[in-house]
Amino acid sequence: MIKPVTQTSPLVELSNVSKRFGKVTAVDNANFSLSQGSVLTILGPSGCGKTTLLRMIAGFESPTTGNIRINGQPVQAVPPYKRSIGMVFQNLALFPHMTAGENIAYPLKMRRFSPQDIPGLVERYLDIVRLSGMGERRIQQLSGGQQQRVAIARALSFNPDLLLLDEPLSALDKKLREEMQLEFRRIQQQLGVTTINVTHDQREALVMSDEIIVMSEGAIQQIADPVSLYRQPSNRFVASFIGLTSLIRGTVEDAREGKITFRTTHTTLQGQASERFRFGETVEGAIRAEQVRISTDIKGAEGMDNILDGVVEQQIFEGDRMVYQISCPALGTAPLFVFDHDPSHHTPHAQGDRVVVSWKVRDLLVYPCQKYRVSNP
């Protein structure tokens, strides 16, 4: 049977996929599709259902309801070993009784590649992951980073349609993790393999992906490319999960479309919203730490829209920047976080200092306050 594969037909397609374990809903009505050659990251806190989603695509779990299609074909009845999917596991799941080369040859043998092709392919993929000449090494003789590379080569050597990454980098230290993120990106671009990556690390998601799905409590919250996701989070959860964000609660006083005026503890603020609100509705404003300006007096707040007095509660030195936690009497108890990149090192605000904080209306994003569940389009 010839399956029509065109530029527009998605490689992976999930429609209304839910998974329940007893009374627990691990995945709630997930819908998305993934086109050939792109990198999708499913991002969310632990327990949000992202791994369950990945395991359903791999075929280790089957959806309670809904359909998964790969290459246009429904895969419910297809066992994992008949799917053309390479997976890198969180703990790598390498075979310790085989050498690195044997690990990479394993899928080729199991998928009945011609025996005379196998050594060449093993060499090629060792080369791609930059482990040339290490095929004879035993898994225990390799470093953590090298083991990662073997796991990647093993998942790719049989040229699968789809590569799944189940947080394989989460156990690495920061430096190695960042190095491997770039490696993944390089290998993915070299081979053009369609990839689904699961992580709780927002930086990794932003660095590695063409598209990001944010999940919380089993539900997809937003699907967007990294830039839109960061600049236009579609709800309060996404806004607070990505980046360092301060949340300010209040009630709507004036709700002209686009520009919302809402009353907080002791002041009124103006913010930006993409939906309509009723008068008196409870809302939450979200502002990123890098959008807030901190200054010693009102002169520093020139050109800004919302201007508040505050006191420095805490300052944290992060090398390239200071992170201030400010309490503003006008906002009640809600803390306000501010990044200050100060290349000239001359205005450190000390704990207890009185400061002025300010931001622009367009940077304060206003969301409905209730807990949000989104059924995506």
Partner 1 sequence: MASNSSSKLPRRWHLFDIAERNAAALWPKTMHRYSGYLLLVPAILLVFVLVLGLVYIGGYSLHELDLATYRLKETFSLTNYSAALTSTTYQSVVLRSIGASILVTFFTLLLAFPYAYLMVRARQAATKKFLLISLFLPFFIGQIVRAYGWLIILGQEGLINTLFAGLGLPAMDLIYNYPAVILGLVQYMLPFAVLLLAPAITAIGRDVELASESLGANWMRTFLHVVLPMAKPGLVGSSVVVFTLTLTDFAMPEILGGGTTDFIANAIYDGFFQLSNSGLGSALAMILVTLGTAFVVILFFLAGTGTLGFNGREQ
Handedness of CA 242, 246, 252, 254 (dihedral sign): negative
171 part of the interface to partner 1, by CB under 8 A: no
Asked if 22 is part of the footprint of partner 1 (rule: CB under 8 A), the reply reads no
| Residues in 32-71 that interact with partner 1 by CB under 8 A | 58-60
Please, which residue, 85 or 180, has the CB nearer to partner 1? 85
Q: Give dist(CA 53, CA 262) in Å, integer.
A: 38
Count the helix, strand and coil residues of the chain and give each as a percent rounded to the nearest 5.
25, 35, 40
Say how many C-beta atoms besides its own lie within 10 A of residue 78's C-beta. 14
Residues 141-170 that bind partner 1 (CB under 8 A): 154-155, 158
Q: How far is the CB of 36 from partner 1 (least distance, A)?
A: 20
Q: Which residues contact 298 (CB under 8 A, 6 or more apart)?
A: 307, 356
Measured between alpha carbons, how far is 83 from 69 in angstroms, rounded to an integer? Answer: 11
Using the rule CB under 8 A, give the single segment among 89-97, 117-125, 245-253, 286-294 that binds partner 1.
Answer: 89-97
Task: Report the residue from 7, 8, 114, 140 that binds partner 1 according to the rule CB under 8 A.
Answer: 140
Of 131 and 308, the one with the shorter C-beta distance to partner 1 is 131
Which one-letter DSSP state was computed for residue 294?
E
Beta strand pairing call for 162-166 and 85-88: parallel
Is 87 one of the binding residues for partner 1 (CB under 8 A)? yes
90 near partner 1 (CB under 8 A): yes
The one among 73, 91, 132, 282 contacting partner 1 by CB under 8 A? 91
Q: Residue 95 Cβ, how far from partner 1 at the closest point, in Å?
A: 6
Q: Cα angle vertex 309, ends 273, 265, to 5°? A: 55
For residue 222, the SS3 value is: strand
Residue 80 CB, nearest approach to partner 1 (Å): 4
Which of 5, 24, 110, 244: binder of partner 1 (CB under 8 A)? Answer: 110
Q: Transcribe 167-205 into DSSP letters.
A: STTTTS-HHHHHHHHHHHHHHHHHHT-EEEEEES-HHHH
> Is 24 a binder of partner 1 (CB under 8 A)?
no
- Rank residues 94 and 252 by Cβ distance to partner 1 and give the closer one: 94
Q: Which stretch binds partner 1 (CB under 8 A): 83-91, 128-136, 196-204, 244-252?
A: 83-91
> According to the binding rule CB under 8 A, does residue 96 interact with partner 1?
yes
| Rounded distance between C-alpha atoms, residue 313 and residue 292, angstroms | 16
Q: Where on the phi/psi map is residue 133: left (φ > 0), alpha (ψ -120 to 50), or beta?
A: left
Q: Can residue 89 be called a binding residue for partner 1 (CB under 8 A)?
A: yes
User: Applying CB under 8 A, which residues contact partner 1?
Assistant: 58-60, 79-81, 83, 85-87, 89-91, 93-97, 106-107, 110-111, 140, 154-155, 158
